Homo-oligomer: A and B are copies of this chain.
Amino acid sequence: MRFEVQVEVRLREGIADPQGQTIERSLPHLGFGGVSGVRVGKSIRFTLDAASEEQARAEVADMCTRFLTNPVIEDSAVSIEAVDAAGVA
């Protein structure tokens, strides 16, 4: 089976986010008000071939812990969607 996977990698709460702070400080100068709490993370998308959704989820969880995130400062949110071989959901 084929799956479309999205992994969102976010800095944990309390970890400083200088990129987010820079965006937040810049927006008012560009005329955008009312914005607070800007946090910048990564969005990693890929296609995964696996025997079952269960196996796909286990593989992605393992990938996140061992490779895609730094678990000390980051956590991740995973979304997995089965698609047919032609890539249509």
Which residues of A approach B to under 8 Å, CB–CB? 8-10, 20, 23-24, 26-27, 30, 32-50, 59, 62-63, 66-68
Contacts and interface: CB of A to CB of B under 8 A. Distances in A.
Q: How many copies does the complex hold?
A: 2
Contact of A38 (B10, B30, B44): B44
Contacts of A27: 63, 67
A37 B46 contact: yes
A62 B44 CA distance: 24
Contacts of A59: 32, 34
20 contacts: A8-B43, A9-B43, A10-B45, A20-B44, A23-B67, A23-B68, A24-B46, A27-B67, A33-B49, A34-B50, A34-B59, A35-B46, A35-B47, A35-B48, A37-B46, A38-B44, A41-B42, A41-B44, A42-B43, A43-B43
